[in-house]
Structure 1
């Protein structure tokens, strides 16, 4: 553990923004949300969304006011505990003043009716959030897109359960990150209702709407299914034909899959990169070619269900804990299936990184470098260095214990390094200081 390791930031009580060091404009203080109930009516043609959101939260201090993250939309009504509340908008913040102050440590409910044309939230990584497809829509919420479709406390440390009902035109399939509990058709529309019982941050919630065929991928060790355009079913069958084997392999490394099912969605449009969500991964039509060209991405996104979704970063500085593990999972899958060993992949990427520049602190990359390829690969190299130091007999039990003991919890680099040293029974300060807290590339871990 490096003595430089920062402690995780948490929202400051009473503030209209979090103290997240990277995205202080997202997240709100003074309360924690326990549950979101969203009733959404969406019309594909005009891209029109009407919603009613009910948030159940617990105050962490007396609240004469509070704020939520919401981008766009006309607000028709805001109420706290059934009483109409005054509200104002500032940028992507909804400021609410309850008719009666909320005492500390009190459960309260906020109800919001809103409508409009959902659009992605502009950011330094491009536009992120609810986006129109050629025929349907998708949601990519990481890291700032959730306010594009519902009012929320948009910080990874604020984790809640969800019930989401989406009504849309009956020819369309609706896939939501959760367990489907009902589907009711009325005239020309169908209402799809999903529940997400596990504690989930807003950025991992997603809605996918399109004209999809449903495909079964596997029934064990957990149910795995897909929503795929009819024209892509044949090549998809080959590209994702080893999905059951991938799941079993990753369970062997990381322990039991942390959710009730796993869903793959393939949009009929091209996407720059796949998208992760809670219990779901979204790929573009360009990721399906019938030759398993992008199978490593299927492995990467599934690995995020353990590292990134079940174990969620406490703040955005900790992003390597998501991407380093998902990258190393790609190398482990190659090794497990008779391809190149993890050591060979690590050696290749070490050589590439050696060409420079090496100008990133993995444990604190800065907001502009959160999704930098250097962070992904060097995060994977950090884990390989740890594996080489401990040996397989100690490394893999450590990884499984980390994933299972911290299941459905926020995590930090400091917690990981402390856990690792305790599990290994030795100091690993030099290793973590070199790989996580130093910019120059350390020596390649001995094979």
Structure 2
């Protein structure tokens, strides 16, 4: 499958990324010393031109480049601010390729901007990398645009007492003097902001039958208690959303408290305050796992469409509640609808603006949009749509327009739907989406269908 490509600068991050080329593959060979927070590395990028190209502009923040090679030959470069500009030895025509090897080093730290501190951040003992939305350049040179995907190889050396978790399964670990080197399998195609390394004094153990968890030894009892339904959660989501899209899934639990959990390709990261033995973060555990389908496998082309990531993940929380014996998705939807109705009505879901892209209203209104679709289409058509979404755009990109087209497919041009009472005309579905996505006023939710809704757990167990 050809990797996705962007067509324009992202309007929320216009100074990131470049449209004239795509990086098909990143090979990162890094060495990190924890105590001085010193990162050294060579990043080798397989660059392919999309249009005539005499210069490659990469994003890199806070780290200093000492050498750049193009196809094995040293070439000239300039580095100003977060822009690294490299001139290949010859201009590239569309489809032409060059391999750039960038040697760099420094003391990495988070970038600071609209969304606070993002990217590489030191913990009490180790490192957390939270790249969304603009933190990837804090630890490797890249074409930092959500509309691009590439595969990754990572080799990471660090002090021997520390464990490294990344986006793919470990291929091998080698020890030399006081260091260990972790070599990871090649990833599936992923966006730059989803690339991560997590460094800590972690034990990595099995998480049921469907994953692993990295946590410190003293956290073992609390984490085991709070994740004891992980296999059940995994089975429900695979039944509703389709097969898990990646080679592995790792939950990382830092010894530090974190403000919010975060997702990465093939991994979720929680703070000690989230998995503390009280099982108070069940919905967040479900939310971050759901992102593996919605956001990480099926990714947005631009940040304007972030509601697709967060709306699906938030709605997955409600589906898990319903399947797990808690309040139904409809109960939760109507509760959150009432709360949203009392808040300012100044947000357009398909273009929330950079300042509001992580506003909780984006998450909840996105989930409500999906619930309105479920009530209108009926469960059979709605969950068929969801599985088609995750299959059709697997390891790629999708936009709101793609969802609209899929909704028209699911709804057809005449009333209908499944045996659960759904169904709507194509024009009615367009009107429904217009109201939820393009207008500031909060629409009302459709009524519950009169026919009883099939049990979600039974639906998940059928696995079409």
95, 98, 123: which is aligned to 1:108? 98
Deviations 1:180-203 (A, max 9, x none): 111111111100011333111110
Aligned twin of 2:340: 353
Q: Paired residues, what number?
A: 431
Distance in 2 (alpha carbons) for counterparts of 1:58 and 1:45: 38
Checking the alignment, whether the CA contact within 8 Å between 1:10 and 1:19 is kept in structure 2 is: no
Checking the alignment, whether the CA contact within 8 Å between 1:172 and 1:211 is kept in structure 2 is: yes
Structural mapping, 1:201-212, within 5 Å: 201-212=191-202
Deviations 1:318-340 (A, max 9, x none): 10000000000000000001100
Aligned twin of 2:235: 248
Are 1:289 and 2:276 an aligned pair?
A: yes
Distance in 1 (alpha carbons) for counterparts of 2:406 and 2:335: 29
Distance in 1 (alpha carbons) for counterparts of 2:9 and 2:43: 25
SS of 2:183 mapped into structure 1: strand
Aligned twin of 1:63: 53
Structural mapping, 1:277-316, within 5 Å: 277-316=264-303
Aligned twin of 1:394: 381
Are 1:418 and 2:408 an aligned pair?
A: no
Checking the alignment, whether the CA contact within 8 Å between 1:11 and 1:27 is kept in structure 2 is: no
Checking the alignment, whether the CA contact within 8 Å between 1:263 and 1:281 is kept in structure 2 is: yes
Aligned twin of 1:437: 438
Deviations 1:63-87 (A, max 9, x none): 2111000001121101212222211
| Shift >6 Å, 4+ stretches | none
Task: Give the C-alpha shift of residue 422 in structure 1.
Answer: 1.3
Structural mapping, 1:44-55, within 5 Å: 44-55=34-45
Task: Give the C-alpha shift of residue 179 in structure 1.
Answer: 2.1
Task: Give the C-alpha shift of residue 445 in structure 1.
Answer: 2.1
SS of 2:185 mapped into structure 1: strand
Deviations 1:421-444 (A, max 9, x none): 112213111110011111001112
303, 314, 322: which is aligned to 1:327? 314
Checking the alignment, whether the CA contact within 8 Å between 2:261 and 2:269 is kept in structure 1 is: yes
Q: Gapped runs of 5+ residues in structure 1? A: 1-8, 13-17
SS of 2:175 mapped into structure 1: strand
Deviations 1:75-108 (A, max 9, x none): 1101212222211122211111123222331121
Task: Give the C-alpha shift of residue 289 in structure 1.
Answer: 1.9
Checking the alignment, whether the CA contact within 8 Å between 1:317 and 1:363 is kept in structure 2 is: yes
Structural mapping, 1:104-253, within 5 Å: 104-219=94-209, 223-253=210-240
Distance 1:412 1:11, change over 3 A: closer
TM-score where L is the length of structure 1: 0.94
326, 330, 345: which is aligned to 1:343? 330
SS of 1:183 mapped into structure 2: strand
Checking the alignment, whether the CA contact within 8 Å between 1:130 and 1:138 is kept in structure 2 is: yes
Distance in 1 (alpha carbons) for counterparts of 2:169 and 2:207: 16
Deviations 1:114-159 (A, max 9, x none): 0100011111110100100000001000100000000001111111
SS of 2:257 mapped into structure 1: coil
Checking the alignment, whether the CA contact within 8 Å between 1:10 and 1:20 is kept in structure 2 is: no
TM-score where L is the length of structure 2: 0.91
Question: Quick check: 245-254 or 93-102, which moved more?
Answer: 93-102
Distance in 2 (alpha carbons) for counterparts of 1:163 and 1:270: 30
What do you get for the CA RMSD once the two structures are aligned? 1.2
Checking the alignment, whether the CA contact within 8 Å between 2:5 and 2:149 is kept in structure 1 is: no
Whichever structure has more strand as a proportion of its residues is: 1
Aligned twin of 1:4: none
Question: Quick check: 368-377 or 390-399, which moved more?
Answer: 390-399
Distance in 2 (alpha carbons) for counterparts of 1:341 and 1:270: 30
Task: Give the C-alpha shift of residue 10 in structure 1.
Answer: 6.5
Q: Gapped runs of 5+ residues in structure 2? A: 414-425, 449-464
SS of 1:137 mapped into structure 2: strand
Task: Give the C-alpha shift of residue 19 in structure 1.
Answer: 1.7
